[in-house]
Amino acid sequence: MTEGNFVDYVKIYATSGNGGKGSVHLHREKYNAKGGPDGGDGGRGGHIIIRANSNLWTLYHLKFKKHFRAEHGGHGSSARSTGADGADVYIDVPLGTVVRDTETDEVMFEIANDGEEVILCEGGMGGRGNWHFKSSTNQTPRYAQPGRPLEEKRVTIEMKVLADVGLVGFPNAGKSTLLSVITSAKPKIADYEFTTLKPNLGIVEYRDYQTFVMADIPGIIEGAAEGKGLGHYFLRHIERNSILLFLIPADADDVKKQYDILLDELRRYNPEMLDKERFIVISKCDMLDDELQAEMKEELDNELPVDYMFISSVAQQGIMPLKDKLWKMLNDE
């Protein structure tokens, strides 16, 4: 999927249908001049329904269609005939989608299971026909209910990437390179910061034809939790990953400090992220000789609070042990 086709944030305007009017009708025929009321009920207006679809990976299909209107319910008619219900309108979204009220920014609901349906705008109920209102004291009611009015909403639809492993790191840490080596994904790779502007997903092939999904998230900078850089744009994607894989390059000035900054940004955005399993990868280890790597390992053993591993995506060093480690973490969990 090209970067331009990855859409994870859209605003839409949705309108359900009005309920149909109940009928005011008195039964008349040749041999029954006063047959009494027989006005039918109005039909229900169409709903606007959000539906989860596991075959979708992006909101690109909503990029150019921002208005959704359901049909109005049909009016009731004679012989107690009920008007037709308005057709419902379905909006398919990927798993891991959040729907917010655009005006208040309040989360209305989240949708995460394939085939799950949530009514966004409820169609108006049809009005009751006059035959419902006949009584011993009012045998020919000449009134019926109007249909209930439609609902209209302006909502923001956000997608949060669902992946088993999410790559977390500063810009230019080597996340896209690792994804391109460990999966068949072809992310944009270049020697400058913020090469990745949209999340990339790749399927990691493991032993015995088993697989898991890895996501390359745009790079974090200090202050991202306050919206600096790409800020909240990428942080929401990390929320849905089972394991957080921190990538820190071997040439970093202070590996422990980089890890602490990354972890602090996640904590400030959403403290629940600290409950996720974490693992650290020291990337670009082909820049280190055996002696430097041994010295660095001795230092990191005392500093880092979680497990870590040296890898080189370019030289393909440590790739299979990394897959083994991630697979074990996913299945132990």
Residues 170 and 145 placed together within one structural domain of the fold: no
Cα separation of 10 and 319, whole Å?
37
Q: Are residues 9 and 155 in the same domain?
A: yes
Structural domains counted in the chain? 2
- Cβ-Cβ contacts under 8 Å for 257 (sequence gap 6 or more): none
Q: What pLDDT does residue 6 have? A: 67
102 and 188 fall within a common domain: no
pTM > 0.85: yes or no: no
Q: Judge if 296 and 151 occupy the same domain.
A: no
The amino acid occupying position 128 is R
Domain-terminating residue out of 95, 124, 159 = 159
Q: What angle do CA 324, 57, 47 make, to 5 degrees?
A: 140
Contact of 95 with 113, CB cutoff 8 Å: yes
Give tens-digit pLDDT for 37-87: 999 999 999 999 999 998 887 888 898 899 999 999 999 998 889 999 999
Other Cβ atoms less than 10 A from the Cβ of 138: the count is: 12
Clarify whether residues 128 and 224 are in a common domain.
no
The CATH code of the domain that includes 24 is 2.70.210.12
Domain span at residue 237 reads 163-332
Residues 131 and 12 reside in one and the same domain: yes
Q: What is the dihedral of CA 101, 106, 112, 116, to 10 degrees?
A: -50
Closest to 146 measured CA to CA, from 16, 15, 23, 27: 23
Sequential pLDDT tens for the chain (333 residues): 444 466 778 999 999 999 999 999 888 877 777 778 999 999 999 999 999 998 887 888 898 899 999 999 999 998 889 999 999 999 999 888 899 999 998 999 988 888 999 999 999 999 999 988 998 888 889 899 999 999 999 999 988 777 788 888 887 777 878 888 887 655 444 443 344 456 777 788 888 888 888 888 766 655 544 444 444 556 667 777 888 899 988 888 888 888 888 888 888 877 888 888 899 999 888 888 888 888 888 888 888 888 888 988 888 888 899 999 999 988 875
Domain CATH code at residue 294: 3.40.50.300
| Strand ranges across the sheet with 97-101 | 67-69, 9-15, 152-159, 97-101, 107-111
Q: Are 224 and 231 in contact (CB under 8 A)?
A: yes
Q: Are residues 21 and 118 in the same domain?
A: yes
> Closest Cα to residue 124, out of 190, 46, 205, 69?
46
Q: What is the pLDDT of residue 188?
A: 45
